[in-house]
A and B are shown apart, each in its own frame.
Chain A
Amino acid sequence: MPQHELILLKNMMRPGYTGSLADYEKTGGYQALRNTLGKITPPDVTAMVRKSGLRGRGGAGFPTGVKWGFLPKDYHGPRYLCCNADESEPGTFKDRQLMERDPHQVLEGIVLACYAIGAETAYIYIRGEMVLGAKILEQAIDEARAAGYIGKNILGTGINADVWVHRGAGAYICGEETALLESLEGKRGLPRIKPPFPATHGLYNKPTVVNNVETLANLPHIITRGPEWFAAIGSPPKSTGTRVFCVSGHVKRPGNYEVPMGMTVRELVYDYADGMRSDKPMKAFIPGGASAPFLTPAHLDVKLDFEHVAAAGSMLGSGGVTVMEEGTSMVWAALRLMEFFYHESCGKCTPCREGSSWLVQTLRRILAKRGRMEDLETLSDLCKNIAGRTVCAFGDAAVAPIQSTLKHWRQEYVDLINEAEAANLIRPEPVGRP
């Protein structure tokens, strides 16, 4: 296994590391904050982040420094930072570890980001189910506030940044940044139509930045060790730094592995996750959470960075790598993911709300061996009419499992339908919601 340095998971790997403020300070924690506040100007911090090439770790991969740069320069009212900790993408469980094991690393990143964008209030929108994570963060905030790292007049510099934990209540869509803002305002989490973007009209209609937990956790390291150091890691120039990949499914050792971007799937799955759990070979994998299209073992040597995964016809997304062994029914897998998207569709846009229900019904019919050949046409047709026709990216994500399984494993659908036709089991279907 090639050696490389851990950045985000380094502290928590130390024996006996508890994630307390004292432990974090011992490893050099909050030094970046001390060296930045009042010493480097906010525009310079933004410039450093831009230079580092850091891209959002939540899924879209938008360059963080550029996002910060969209905030209006001449606006003097309040601005907000929201830390997106609504980790709900199936296959992803990295933010949970970052928050529960090393909360101060995230908090230091939050305060640095507040300073860079001129926000005096930050909300950590954590998914409601993570009760323990919210508790740990709240304790850490109290510790940091008592030590003068958070709150009013931080470290005597006159700079204010208050941080609050806000628990969501179980809605995948609230990981979408404008839905997150709606939810934080106490409303149903329906994504907003963009433009205007949150940079100008965000939380309470004020300039707002929404950044993922892992993105923010990288900031102290970029500041301390310099953007050039960060920009040299991974596969520069476009995918710099490390990613915490979450490996799940049929592997021997699932879990979180922090590796430089640009590592191949083969290395990640076979060297880090110890390969397949049994002697069954790999059949399929998803490289970036449920929203990313499935890939086949032919793509094992694809480099895990934004460009290469996109070129292979999928997306790096949130870094959730799910592996499936030979023998897994791809129609079943697509249905499971589709049921997720059907359950989580917020209902704002008709193509997604109605289409996801229709897709689930059609897939269930095929899987129950009551399908017809026309169903395949129906599936692709529906997918084409959902993707790109909704307010947010949910629509594109929802059709990814079906489109990609139809592309790579069409024969499995055909076989199920042939079985149905051979057994003459086709019966008229009652029409209704699944």
Chain B
Amino acid sequence: MLKDKYRKEIEEILSRYPVKRSALIPLLYIAQREQGYVTESAMQEIAHLLRLTPPQVYETITFYTMFNLKPTGKFHMQVCKSLMCALVGSDTVVEWIKAKLGIAPGESTADGLFSISLVECLAACGTGPMMQINDDYYERLTEEKLDRILADLRSTGTSPLKSGPFMWPEPLNVER
């Protein structure tokens, strides 16, 4: 039960809003963090916590693309396919991933480690092609960079190539 495990965090979230329903998305994030996707029982529990009906939770969760209703790979790769990234080669990135992992958008690898999906603009247009893996952005992708990211994720579960606080062009390049 989420309520027992995250009692303090849930109470803190509820205290921010004068109307309980506002806490719906934050609570769904907790549920997703717990299992990688939002289960039906989690939705029912959240509905109960917020005094909503289960359909009210369901109608909301299905509107937003970031909630998974079924399990994804441990590393969920979301490659931006919008025009700005496509201009600088996002389609090629998808081809690389297909060739390296043998999965097409919407699929997961057999070991459950990687899954890939195509998403729309992630606000990193100046540093495309880019993708998001779980919570982290990876920008200015090249084939070598992709290889290193995949290797890092396999061995350590994280990669130092992920983006830090965003600034582009970097201040060093700016002479003013």
List the interface of chain A (C-beta within 8 A of B): 1, 3, 6, 12-13, 15, 19, 78, 87-93, 95-97, 100-101, 127-133, 136, 164, 166-172, 183-189, 204, 246-250, 253-256, 290, 320, 322, 324, 328, 333, 336-337, 339-340, 343-344, 346
Contacts and interface: CB of A to CB of B under 8 A. Distances in A.
Contacts of A336: 81-83, 86
A101 B122 contact: no
A92 B123 contact: yes
A3 B175 CA distance: 11
Which of A19, A167, A249, A253 lies at the interface centre, i.e. has the most chain B CB atoms within 10 A of its CB? A249
A90 B165 contact: no
B58 to A, nearest CB: 11
28 contacts: A90-B82, A90-B121, A93-B123, A97-B166, A97-B167, A100-B166, A100-B167, A127-B123, A128-B66, A130-B123, A131-B136, A169-B25, A169-B64, A169-B67, A171-B65, A183-B25, A186-B50, A248-B84, A248-B125, A249-B84, A253-B169, A253-B173, A254-B126, A256-B126, A290-B82, A290-B121, A320-B125, A322-B83
Given A12-B171, A169-B65, A324-B87, A19 B165 contact: yes
Nearest to A134: B135
A160 to B, nearest CB: 14
Contacts of A95: 123
A302 B26 CA distance: 44
A164 B66 contact: no
Contacts of B25: 166-169, 183, 186
A96 B121 CA distance: 13
Interface of B: 16, 18-19, 21-26, 28-29, 50, 59-60, 63-67, 81-84, 86-88, 119-128, 132, 135-137, 163-169, 171, 173-174, 176
A246 B126 contact: yes
A255 B24 contact: no
- Residue among B22, B163, B164, B173 with most chain A CB within 10 A: B22
A92 B63 contact: no
A343 B120 contact: yes
B37 to A, nearest CB: 13
Nearest to A190: B63
Contact of B19 (A3, A12, A185, A344): A185
A87 B120 CA distance: 12
B125 A90 contact: yes
Given A100-B166, A129-B132, A185-B21, A171 B64 contact: yes
Contacts of A1: 176
Count chain A CB atoms within 10 A of each CB in B59, B135, B136 and give the residue with the most: B135
B63 A171 contact: yes
A255 B168 contact: yes
Contacts of A92: 123, 125
B126 A255 contact: yes
Nearest to B25: A169
A331 to B, nearest CB: 12
Given A100-B165, A186-B60, A246-B125, 11 more contacts: A12-B167, A13-B174, A90-B84, A97-B167, A130-B123, A132-B135, A171-B65, A186-B50, A249-B87, A249-B125, A290-B82
B166 A333 contact: no
Contacts of B137: 132
Contacts of A255: 126-127, 168-169
A168 B64 CA distance: 8
Nearest to A174: B64
Contacts of B174: 13
B122 to A, nearest CB: 5
A332 B127 CA distance: 21
Contact of B84 (A97, A169, A322): A322
Nearest to B22: A186
B123 A248 contact: no
A340 B121 contact: yes
Given A171-B64, A188-B59, A336-B83, A88 B121 contact: yes
A248 B120 contact: no
A94 B31 CA distance: 31
Contacts of B136: 131-132
Contact of A170 (B64, B88, B163): B64
A249 B171 CA distance: 20
